[in-house]
Chain A
Amino acid sequence: MIDFDTKKFHINPNYRLQFEEAQKCHVLLYPEGLVKLSDTAVEILSRCKQAVHKKTLIEDLQKDYPEAETLAADVSDFLEHAASESWLVVVED
């Protein structure tokens, strides 16, 4: 698990995030498998290509989606899930 309050993180460098024309959606590819991503998941994950802090990530997203009231909580939940699936990995200082 990632300590999101202190650590920076990014997408697992061994995974691939890309848009698939045939599927008409973004997918995240990992050893012998894939997951089709929702628009929200893509919006968050595409901002995690470079190392990022949770606080910065939420601030950036909130700027682009000012009307989203539960954004901070939703992003936190998503990050926990993404970390448990190894989509995200911690960046050691």
Chain B
Amino acid sequence: MLEDNNNDYIPMWLLAELTYACPLQCPYCSNPLSLPAGRKEELTKEDWIRVMKEARKLGAVQIGFSGGEPLVRKDCVDLIGTANDLGFYCNLITSALPLTEKKIEECKEAGIKHIQISFQGSDKETNAKFGGTDSFEHKLAMTKAVIDKEIPLGLNFVLHRQNIHQVTDFLMMAENLGAEFVELANTQYYAWALHNRDKLLPSQQQLIEAENATNRFRDQHKGNMNAIFVAPDYYERRPKKCSAGWGTTFITVTPEGDVLPCQSAKIIDGIEFPNVKDNSLGEIWQRSDLFNRFRGTSWMTEPCRSCPEKEQDLGGCRCQAFMLTGDAYATDPICDKSPQHDIIEKAIASAQVDDEEAQPLYFRNTKNSKKLSAMEEGS
């Protein structure tokens, strides 16, 4: 199973998912469906420090403090400080709800270099509707505070069928606030989003309009703001690579210490998931079955194996292949060469039926977690 060149891969990016706890309830959350009963199983501060040291030794340079909401952890700022001292470039990915001016100042002193704040809508009502809390004004205030303290700020606007028409409003808002980076990130259909797909997947027409609106904005406002539009892959003919290539660039550590090549990999059946409590990050990165299983192209089945484009997309996303076809070795069904591409066509068709009677959005909370976890086990 081992390939010769494992040492050539450097996990440039460590995604530190400090906790799955979060004050929001977004129905497109990429966190697992099961909510932890408590937080006792989370890694300790000492565990995280060891993980960060081992990641630096492997060559990791970027760290993203994420979750859930990373600031729910009381030691988040201390961990930022340690990461900065170790030579990491520190990014904080936050809902902004736990932020205060004082907390931002503490983050800056600790060495944070970039803060990304998410918005669920371009106005108070939409933002409250999809985040599950009335937080719009606080998010605006914290966005301004981050900019005032001269910390590079990125805004992340998660798009789906019910807010994608707000793209221009959101770009205007971001520009007025003085943001440097804006990510218009279409929901990707994993975890919670997959279960809400019929209610969230935009139509192709909506997508085209949103992308055109983004381009028009770029043409009309030639400022310093850098706006990226990330489309959902359902309308593509070729799949996206897994995280720049499975086990090549990214390493994710979950709140309990599982080490994954991407945020979703734990959904794949039949693999043992290594944990930092049992092994060093180096051993896991170089030698674990999980990280080696889908590295490169030798694991592929047809039609990927003989496809001339196999090096470009590496067969697409293993999690998506598993979720939608039940086989993690299958071609990502996004690819129109996949014999199971009809799964995607059916999903698009099913999402276009506007049925008010259909199941409402599942927001991420304990009740829905139990319901969806039971459904998934039953299927």
Q: A interface vs B, CB < 8 Å?
A: 14-16, 18, 20-23, 27, 29-34
Q: B interface vs A, CB < 8 Å?
A: 10, 12, 57-59, 61-62, 64, 87, 89, 91, 113-114, 150-152, 154, 180-181
Distance in Å: Cβ of A82 to nearest Cβ of chain B: 16
For A20, list chain B residues within 8 Å (CB): 59, 61
Complexed CA–CA distance, A57 and B23 (Å): 51
Complexed CA–CA distance, A34 and B63 (Å): 12
Chain A to chain B contacts (Cβ below 8 Å), 30 pairs = A14-B113, A14-B150, A14-B151, A14-B152, A16-B87, A16-B89, A18-B87, A20-B59, A20-B61, A21-B59, A22-B10, A23-B10, A23-B59, A29-B61, A29-B62, A29-B89, A30-B89, A31-B114, A31-B154, A31-B180, A31-B181, A32-B62, A32-B64, A32-B91, A32-B114, A32-B154, A33-B62, A34-B12, A34-B62, A34-B89
Other than the known A16-B87, A31-B91, what 5 A-B pairs have Cβ atoms closer than 8 Å?
A18-B87, A23-B10, A29-B61, A32-B154, A34-B62
Of A14, A18, A34, chain B has the most CB atoms within 10 Å of the CB of: A14
For B151, list chain A residues within 8 Å (CB): 14
Give the total number of A-B pairs whose CB atoms are below 8 A apart: 44
Complexed CA–CA distance, A14 and B108 (Å): 11
Complexed CA–CA distance, A16 and B180 (Å): 18
Complexed CA–CA distance, A52 and B58 (Å): 35
Complexed CA–CA distance, A26 and B61 (Å): 12
Of B12, B64, B154, chain A has the most CB atoms within 10 Å of the CB of: B12
- A22 and B58 contact, CB distance less than 8 A: yes
Of B10, B64, B114, B180, chain A has the most CB atoms within 10 Å of the CB of: B114
Which residue on B lies nearest to A24, using beta carbons?
A: B59
For A15, list chain B residues within 8 Å (CB): 113
Distance in Å: Cβ of A46 to nearest Cβ of chain B: 16
For B59, list chain A residues within 8 Å (CB): 20-23
For A34, list chain B residues within 8 Å (CB): 12, 61-62, 89
Distance in Å: Cβ of A47 to nearest Cβ of chain B: 21
Complexed CA–CA distance, A34 and B114 (Å): 13
Which residue on A lies nearest to B151, using beta carbons?
A: A14
For B57, list chain A residues within 8 Å (CB): 22
Distance in Å: Cβ of A16 to nearest Cβ of chain B: 5
- B58 and A14 contact, CB distance less than 8 A: no
Distance in Å: Cβ of A74 to nearest Cβ of chain B: 27
Distance in Å: Cβ of B247 to nearest Cβ of chain A: 16
Distance in Å: Cβ of A29 to nearest Cβ of chain B: 4
Given contacts A22-B10, A31-B152, A32-B91, contact A16 B58 (CB under 8 A): no
- B113 and A31 contact, CB distance less than 8 A: yes
Complexed CA–CA distance, A29 and B114 (Å): 11
Complexed CA–CA distance, A76 and B59 (Å): 32
Distance in Å: Cβ of B143 to nearest Cβ of chain A: 15
Distance in Å: Cβ of B49 to nearest Cβ of chain A: 19
For B10, list chain A residues within 8 Å (CB): 22-23
For A23, list chain B residues within 8 Å (CB): 10, 59
For B58, list chain A residues within 8 Å (CB): 22
For A33, list chain B residues within 8 Å (CB): 62
Distance in Å: Cβ of B5 to nearest Cβ of chain A: 15
Of A20, A23, A31, chain B has the most CB atoms within 10 Å of the CB of: A31
Of A15, A18, A21, A22, chain B has the most CB atoms within 10 Å of the CB of: A22
